[in-house]
Amino acid sequence: MRRKKILFVIPEYSIGGTNTSLANLLSLIDHERYDVSILSLYEDGTEHFKSLFRPYIIRKSLLYTLVHDNVVTRKFMGLCLKLSRKSSWEWIYRYEAWRISRKHHFDVVIAFQEGLATTFVTRLNAGRRIAWVQCDFPHSVCNRRIPSVIATYLKYDDIVCVSKITAENMKAYLAGEDVPVTFLYNTLNTEAIKHKGNAVKNCYTKGMFNIVSVGRLSSIKCFNLIPKMAAEIRTVAGNCFRWYIVGEGADRKRIEEEVRKHDVGDCVVLLGAKDNPYPFLREADLYVCTSESESFSYTIAEAKILHTPILSNNFPVAYEVLDDSTGWVMPNDEMPGMIARLIRDEDGCYLRVKKSIASYVYDNQAILDKLYNMITV
């Protein structure tokens, strides 16, 4: 039986959820049924993802080929850039799409991120086009209905969002338009996560209630709230806990200032970025997600796979991915009281979830089956 040819188009090889999600999917997809290729529109990004995706890459990036291939393409590029910006990119997209379509025919082309990749894929010939939206599109990308954006999505056979709530929001954004919108949770390499989680032992101080938060140190993650929370917890529960923050980013200085302001340097520890954060997730007594919003929280999913109880801020998708067997959802300002309660655990609330999450299993196969049904229509 002929393998279906699938092309994933990504903007670049940068670190982040989109490429992590694609890497996970590539590790799980049935390669005997599907012949997978990747096109990155830019060369920017990390060597990690470039090397990981190299077996699937069909050609150099769009701009690399235009600038470096030969004299003709360099002259073409120069001519395009003399036009208006919009016209320039439109011609560049069309030219590169023509070059790819001339050499390859794909049964399915998937724009694996909103924005540039989604625009470019509409220029490619394909049996079927799928737009994969990695964020809560109407809230984080485009909060008003723009005809050109809607027109782009109407060129797709399916739109895939990464959670139920983001799919509902996308349907509302495209209200009245005839294009199927569904959701697929991101696949996760559960065996690799578990293996990495066991790679290091004794990450934390024994005898303490160890809390961890993981992510980029940016304003949307709200890690700057943690020092004040820690001070409130210490007032109620005493100095019997440590709160570790794994990650790096622009908000580090701001968080450090909050640590000094609230005098919690003894119980709030910034660990910086870690190549392998999973042992910190696995050995923690509690994972806390303070994010302002998430479309699909990798760290919540990973904490569940590693059987660590979770406390999350009340962004919409948190209610979708957590229940009373895996953790708790509440506003950030209510967390200090809840954490103090969990530390003391006089009512057995913490122990109940700790026991129930131990049997949690992440169902990749259900996600893959839904994807296979979509691409074999």
**DSSP category for residue 13:** B
Phi, psi of 9 (to 5 degrees): -110, 125
Answer whether CATH 3.40.50.2000 is correct for domain 4-58+104-187+365-375.
Answer: yes
- What is the band of 361 on the pLDDT scale with cuts at 50, 70, 90? very high
Question: What is each CA distance from 275 to 48, 54, 148, 306, in whole angstroms?
Answer: 11, 21, 40, 17
Torsion of CA 51, 190, 368, 131, to 10 degrees: -50
Q: What is the pLDDT of residues 170-185, one digit of tens each?
A: 898 888 778 899 999 9
Residue 63 or 102, more confident:
102
Q: What is the pLDDT of residues 228-264, one digit of tens each?
A: 999 999 999 999 999 999 999 999 999 999 999 999 9
In 3D space, the residue among 135, 95, 101 whose CA is nearest the CA of residue 118 turns out to be 135
Tokens 């129930």 belong to which residue? 356
> Hey, how many other C-beta atoms are within 10 angstroms of the C-beta on 115?
17
Token digits for 206? 């024994």
Q: What is the pLDDT of residues 105-144, one digit of tens each?
A: 899 999 998 888 898 899 888 889 999 998 776 665 556 6
Give the DSSP letter string of 315-345: -HHHHHH--TTTEEE--GGGHHHHHHHHHH-
Q: What is the pLDDT of residues 313-348, one digit of tens each?
A: 999 999 999 999 999 999 999 999 999 999 999 999
Domain map of the chain by residue range?
4-58+104-187+365-375, 190-357
Question: What is each CA distance from 25 to 115, 186, 246, in whole angstroms?
Answer: 21, 8, 25
Q: What is the pLDDT of residues 186-237, one digit of tens each?
A: 999 999 999 999 998 888 988 999 999 999 899 999 999 999 999 999 999 9
> What is the third-level CATH fold of 190-357?
Rossmann fold (3.40.50)
